[in-house]
Amino acid sequence: MAGSPFADRDESAWVRTSCGWRVIRSHSRATGEETNWCDLGLSEHQRLSADVRLHAGNNALDFSVLRRRKKQEGVVIEVDKDILDAYRREGFLFPLSVLSNSETATLRTKLEELEAQHGGKLPPHINRKPHLLLTWLNELIRHPRILDLVEKILGPDILCWGSGFFIKNPHDKARVTWHQDSTYWGLSSPDIATAWVAFTPSITANGCMRVVPGTHMLQQLPHEDTFAPDNLLSRGQEIAVEVDESRAVDIVLEPGQMSLHHVLLVHGSEPNYSELRRVGFAIRYLPTHVRQLTALADSATLVRGSDHYRHFLPEPVPQSDFHPEALAFHAKMLATNDQILYKETPAKRGGGASAADAPATSK
């Protein structure tokens, strides 16, 4: 892979984090040389160009695979631990390859067909927990390659609490101010991760997500509601303290790749200054021990493992796209969602997108 310091090796596996390259194992067929667990110092540009990636020969692999030749189980366990350590330290991981080219193309076509049915733009109310309405999105939140990676972060029992598309068309002036996702969600624990799946290229020019590494360690920060018309967030919220933007990392993704980020990580995004549309689908995952702190009956979908706590109403799988029963349940949950997200807020919106854009904050 271009840029890998071990691209000429017959067999190698490495991870790249904002702290530098970490080589898991490298073997040269020509010299017989083998390298294990060494760090390499690279330039700032190289360190920030991506967070985590694995490499074996010239093939990029999923974290859960890491096998070009047969490897001992202990090596795989060590790799998983290194990924978890990187997430805990930085608050995010990327790029993670989860969808094939054909899977991504199919999903993008379905989205475009859905938009065409609604005059070219996805209605805000459909874009709140759309996995409750659309069979193909209900399948996506359960995709095994996504869940295999989420499980490394959250454990084996996983709920999907929310989802939504985040779309910036060419020259879209809307932006996302620096914020933390957790601010208005009313959930009991920060053990929550967002999987942001790219349907199109997500690059600096078209307004990719930007994060500030390590800021999830700051806990909950104060926010101010602006309801600004060019802010894509549900309340136009922004962090009420200074953010060191010089430390920000652009989450650059190719179609079919995703990022994972912690619910407390400070992040935002700039407008789309390009001719390239940017489309991502965000999925909010949490372990089953997390609960809603309000007295309202919130809902979630069990996507892996078992739910022994039953803190959330179980969400039904739609029998078909926009099935009447799915529509009724979805409407009921949106009404509950509004009460959670706009608690102690007299006016839901003074500008920007409608209240229906929540809970999935745009990136």
| Full pLDDT tens readout for the chain, 363 residues | 344 333 443 333 444 444 433 433 344 444 544 443 333 333 333 323 333 333 222 223 333 333 222 233 343 444 477 888 889 999 999 999 999 999 999 999 999 999 999 999 999 999 999 999 999 999 999 999 999 999 999 999 999 999 999 999 999 887 777 888 777 788 999 999 999 999 999 999 999 999 999 887 787 766 666 565 665 555 555 665 677 788 899 999 999 999 999 999 988 988 999 999 999 999 999 999 999 998 899 999 999 999 999 999 999 999 999 999 999 999 999 999 888 876 655 444 333 333 333 433 445
Q: Which residues pair with 17 in a beta bridge?
A: 20
Q: What is the pLDDT of residue 271?
A: 92
Say how many C-beta atoms besides its own lie within 10 A of residue 346's C-beta.
Answer: 5
Q: What is the pLDDT of residue 322?
A: 98
How many Å apart are CA 64 and CA 34, to the nearest integer? Answer: 23
Reading the block at residue 155, the tokens are 């454990």
Q: The CATH number of 94-357 is which of 3.10.150.10, 3.40.1160.10, 3.40.50.300, 2.60.120.620?
A: 2.60.120.620
Pairing of the two strands 299-304 and 193-198:
unpaired
Please provide the DSSP assignment of 8-22 as one string: TSSEEEEEEETTEEE
CA distances from 72 to 44, 66, 67, 83 (A): 34, 11, 10, 18
pTM, rounded to two decimals: 0.74
- H-helix or E-strand spanning residue 250: strand 249-250
Q: Where are the domains positioned within the chain?
A: 11-90, 94-357
Instruction: Indicate the DSSP class of residue 57.
Output: T
The torsion angles phi and psi of 91, rounded to 5 degrees, stand at 90, 5
Cα–Cα–Cα angle for 99, 173, 216, nearest 5°? Answer: 55
CA torsion 119→175→169→211, rounded to 10°?
-120
Q: What is the pLDDT of residue 229?
A: 63
Residues in the chain: 363
Dihedral angle sign, alpha carbons of residues 293, 299, 300, 305: positive
Q: What is the pLDDT of residue 165?
A: 94
104 three-state secondary structure: helix
Largest CA distance in the chain: 70
Q: What is the pLDDT of residue 235?
A: 56
Pairing of the two strands 299-304 and 313-314:
parallel
Instruction: Indicate the DSSP class of residue 254.
Output: -
Q: Which residues pair with 112 in a beta bridge?
A: none
